[in-house]
Structure 1
Amino acid sequence: MHDSITLDQLRTFIAVADEGSFSAAARKLRRVQSAVSHAMANLEGQLGVVLWDRSTRIPALTEHGRVLLGAARRVCADADALSSAAQRLAGGLDPLVSLCVDAVFPLSALVELCVEFARVYPTVELVVHTEAMTAVADRVRDGTCQLGVVGPAAAAQGLERRHLTSVRMVPVAGRSHPLAAQQHAAPAARLATEQLREHVQIVLSERGGSRSPEQAVLSPRTWRVVDLQTKRELLCAGLGWGNLPEHMIRDDLEAGRLVRLRPDAWGDDEHVLSLAVVHRPGLVMGPAGQWVLKRLVELCCQHVGGQRAPR
């Protein structure tokens, strides 16, 4: 019966295939050749399939044997993964860490976090989601993610919250946009709301329609996008104006691809968003999760501030 097949039989099968003969497999496994031959005969009997063509001096895999060899490798790999996961759990190491970050979170910090995590915890699975506004908290509340990084627009009721850093949102337009020309002609001047209302404002919105209160929208003409990279590209192309995180557009401002605007309706420091990490109450995290939490704080602050994090 197939239920009586053992991992030892499958590993012996793999060893014979890899070493090229029963005798070579026996040497690798430190067994007598007759034990290997007996194991293969038993496996064939249990599977009801001939694995080896014994008509030649050195047995060769049959067509069925080649097919089942791949299955045997997968079974043994899964068994090894199961054993490894059990050892990690017994030692207190997280089997998985899941994270969801708001679109405003600096992408450079997220990439560096993932690179470091892969190096420090190569056996722990890392799952990363990116969302906007209330969707981040939703992923944490429904258990999809253990940790979330949310902005102030997220309704995080029922979640534990810890401040990470503050992100300055800067109103900008592409250098070819009429508002950029007006601001460039009078850098210290304020742009009247009537001027801004004449042009398309590009606004970050949630998938499926916004459930958050409208924020920082002055123009009745809006284009809505669900990710900041698309918004940045549209603004650089001169198709509208809008707010972007300062850390995201430093190079664009220095190169003149984007021009900072000064709306009369807002103070220069009016739109500073607080980023916070959230999780469900009572969440218990192992060493890998605690490491992520610590590095989130360090990397987020340093990348928003324009510095590189220490390795």
Structure 2
Amino acid sequence: METFLAVAEERSFSRAAARLHRTQPAVSQAIAKLEGELGEVLFERSSRDGTLTDAGEVLREYAAKLLNLRSDAEGALSELRSLHRGRLNLAANEYTCLYLLPLLDEFRRQNPRIKLAVQRTLASRISDEVLMHSVELGVLSFRPDDTQIKSTVVYRDELAFVVNPRHPLAGVGKVSIRQLGAQNFIAHNVPSPQRQKVIQTFKRHKTPLNMGVELPSLEAIKRFVQMGNGVALVPGLTVRPELESGALVRVEVAELQIERKLRLVHRRQANLSHAALAFLKVVEDYAAAHGDPYCFQAERGA
């Protein structure tokens, strides 16, 4: 199309050849091939000035559009490479989304033209969303089993036992798990590996775990405990503001020192977008600058 348009604009095969830095026979051959593919004669052979036939006039308009579209596409890809446009889709649940906030803030500072979309997804579904190409990156609090998923540990958290400031245990500082048998726990009603670990730990220590109330969100659990309704075990990351303000009090439980590692996951064989690669670089740099609990460690075999 570029050769055809050059001949049409220059009205000469020889001038078109010079413009394209090709030989005249090569230009003539390219035009002949195009005519053969289209089944139409594009130039009046009786004319020496490259006069177009009716078919050539029709094609000229479309050729110009195609070359303009190619130029637009090249420009768009250049903008994508330079992160002047693009979109990054991530999946996280209520808890892991909190980890993302400072990183999204830093990413937006560096790449303000990239659109970010965080899809709230059950942790059990995030690997599937990644594999189905619904999102490029996901955040998990457990190591995925699927070998098609690559995971990198990016944050270390731990389970926190919290009570409201008026609770009898608020001033104790540290308790044994056996002292919690009579407590009313406000629990998260979403199944997870961490919930099972807690249940098994109480069983192992022959201590009842009374989950008198189950709520659908961590935010609701925190507020209910603040109101004086029982106690809770929640990820430390989710209660940092309340602990700092004194709205909740953390009490150490030696038998419940359960670490939670957050992981960024993506398809192992994925050709990640420029935006996704830039985000991973932000995560790595942020961990290097801030240190623990932030980190950036690929899991062995992951």
Q: TM-score interval w.r.t. the shorter chain?
A: 0.5 to 0.7
Separation in 2, partners of 1:203, 1:155 = 26
Separation in 1, partners of 2:109, 2:169 = 49
Deviations 1:190-214 (A, max 9, x none): 252xx534333223343xxx36572
Separation in 1, partners of 2:292, 2:214 = 25
Flag structure 1 segments of 5+ consecutive residues without an equivalent: 1-81, 307-311
Please list, as runs of the form range in 1=range in 2, the aligned pairs for 1:162-311 lying within 5 A after superposition: 162-176=152-166, 180-182=167-169, 184=171, 186-192=172-178, 195-206=179-190, 210=191, 212=193, 214-217=196-199, 218=202, 219-263=209-253, 266-267=255-256, 270-299=257-286, 302=290, 305=293
Separation in 1, partners of 2:283, 2:189 = 25
Flag structure 2 segments of 5+ consecutive residues without an equivalent: 1-69, 203-208, 295-302
1:100 equivalent to 2:91? Answer yes
Aligned-partner SS, 1:294: helix
Alignment check: 8 A CA contact 1:152 1:273 kept: yes
C-alpha displacement at 1:228, in angstroms? 2.3
Larger Rg: 2
Counterpart in the other structure of 1:114: 104
Structure 1 residues 211, 236: CA separation in 2 closer, same or farther (over 3 Å shift)? closer
Deviations 1:225-250 (A, max 9, x none): 34322222222222222222323333
Deviations 1:45-89 (A, max 9, x none): xxxxxxxxxxxxxxxxxxxxxxxxxxxxxxxxxxxxx99776332
The total of aligned residue pairs comes to 212
Alignment check: 8 A CA contact 1:101 1:149 kept: yes
Counterpart in the other structure of 2:130: 140
Alignment check: 8 A CA contact 1:191 1:262 kept: no
Identity between Structure 1 and Structure 2 (%): 19
Alignment check: 8 A CA contact 1:168 1:246 kept: yes
Please list, as runs of the form range in 1=range in 2, the aligned pairs for 1:14-53 lying within 5 A after superposition: none
Separation in 2, partners of 1:285, 1:120 = 18
Separation in 1, partners of 2:287, 2:94 = 13
C-alpha displacement at 1:280, in angstroms? 0.9
TM-score with structure 1 setting the length: 0.57
Alignment check: 8 A CA contact 2:163 2:226 kept: yes
Separation in 2, partners of 1:117, 1:96 = 12
